[in-house]
Amino acid sequence: MNIAVFGGSFDPFHEGHFQVIKEAIKTLDIDKLFVIPTYLNPFKNSFLLSEKVRFRKVKEALKDLKKVEVLDFEINQKRKVTTFESIKYLKIKYDLDKIYLIIGADNLKSLHKWHSYKELENLVEFVVANRDDIKVPKNYKVLDIKVDISSTKLRKKMRVEKIVELLDEKKAENIQVFDMRGSDYFVDDVIIATTLSDKHGFALADYLKPLLKELGEKNINLEQSEDWTVVDLGDMLIHLMNSDYRSKYNLEEFLSHREN
């Protein structure tokens, strides 16, 4: 049996991943393509979405592709699992003739650092999904993907959405989001919301703390007063102000002039 393996965080799974899988089915001589979400990437310490949510979303997204099977092998280990270990598992479980291992072009520069890379190289043929105009050496098979397969922008977008959702749920008013990318401002995103009272501002900050930790934020700087709370995440600012302060300082007008 010939197979392809496509592993990753899928945090979140998106159109770029879907296109990689479709192109692999189309161009590779395979009987099955195994998609393996990680429990925890060996090169990362946290995720935006939990392993169970990521697995469910990947499975749902791929349910109509007949040659595709989503495996929970790595997730069930409840620890970091290397690609080498997953490939060994597949070789034991299935009678395999050929294994294609799909990687993103951005992995090429660090491929030699992968656990048991030399042994892995003898077990699989690497197939590279191109991205960001990264030059791929001619000795690799290439999947020609036109969609950016980076999850970074989507993770940041989801983070904003989750914060806004929480603020709205906890009765913050007139929530506004400013995308400052491309401007000369010192953060990427700014969220402004009006609080109902002094206590409400403190409460909103308390509600945000566990959510931000869940989203993987490690450096959370908080400045609080009775009128104004600022949550600084490094690349994002969250301003929680009472209505008087919001009217007085009118940050919306300032940001809108600088927003790209």
- What was the pLDDT predicted at 215? 82
Q: What is the mean pLDDT of residues 165-177?
A: 95
Residue in this structure with the two tokens 């294609």, named with its chain if needed: 100
User: Given 3.30.110.70, 3.30.460.10, 3.40.47.10, 3.40.50.1100, which CATH number is that of 153-258?
Assistant: 3.30.460.10
The per-residue pLDDT for 147 is 65
Instruction: Give yes or no for residue 260 having a pLDDT over 80.
Output: no
- Domain boundaries in the chain? 2-149, 153-258
Give residue 256's pLDDT band: very low, low, confident or very high (50, 70, 90). Answer: confident
CB 208 within 8 A of CB 236: no
User: Which residues, 6 or more positions from 12, have their beta carbon under 8 angstroms from its beta carbon?
Assistant: 48, 49, 54, 57, 151, 154, 155, 158
Calpha distance 49→181 (Å, rounded): 24
Q: Residue 22 half-sphere exposure, CB side, CA atoms within 13 Å?
A: 13
Question: What does the pLDDT read at residue 133?
Answer: 75
Rounded Cα distance between 2 and 98, Å, is 5
CA gap 63, 141 in Å, rounded:
26
Token pair of 7 as six digits: 């592993």
The reply to whether 153-258 shares the fold of 2-149 is no
Interstrand relation of 236-242 and 228-232 (parallel, antiparallel or unpaired)? antiparallel
What 3-state DSSP class applies to 233?
coil
Q: Tell me which CATH code domain 2-149 carries.
A: 3.40.50.620
Each residue's pLDDT tens digit, 190-229: 999 999 999 999 999 999 999 998 887 888 999 999 999 9
The pLDDT assigned to 151 comes to 63
Work out the mean pLDDT of the chain and round it to a whole number: 90
Q: Which residues are CB-contacts of 111 (< 8 A; sequence separation ≥ 6)? A: 103, 117, 126
Amino acid identity, position 201:
G
How do residues 81-136 score in pLDDT, each as one tens digit? 999 999 999 999 999 999 999 999 989 999 999 999 999 999 999 999 987 678 89
Question: Can the peptide bond before residue 12 be classed as cis, meaning omega within 30 degrees of 0?
Answer: yes
How many whole angstroms separate alpha carbon 181 and alpha carbon 188?
Answer: 5
Strand, coil or helix: 119: helix
3 token code pair? 């197979």
pLDDT of residue 40: 78
Question: What digits encode the pLDDT tens for the residues 133-166?
Answer: 788 998 999 998 876 555 667 778 888 989 999 9
Report, as an integer, the average pLDDT of 159-179: 93
The pLDDT-based confidence of 178 (bands split at 50, 70, 90) is very high
pLDDT in tens, 29-67: 999 999 999 997 665 556 677 888 899 999 999 999 999
The structure's pTM equals 0.66
Judged by phi (left if over 0) then psi (alpha if -120 to 50, else beta), residue 226 lies in alpha
CB 38 within 8 A of CB 81: yes
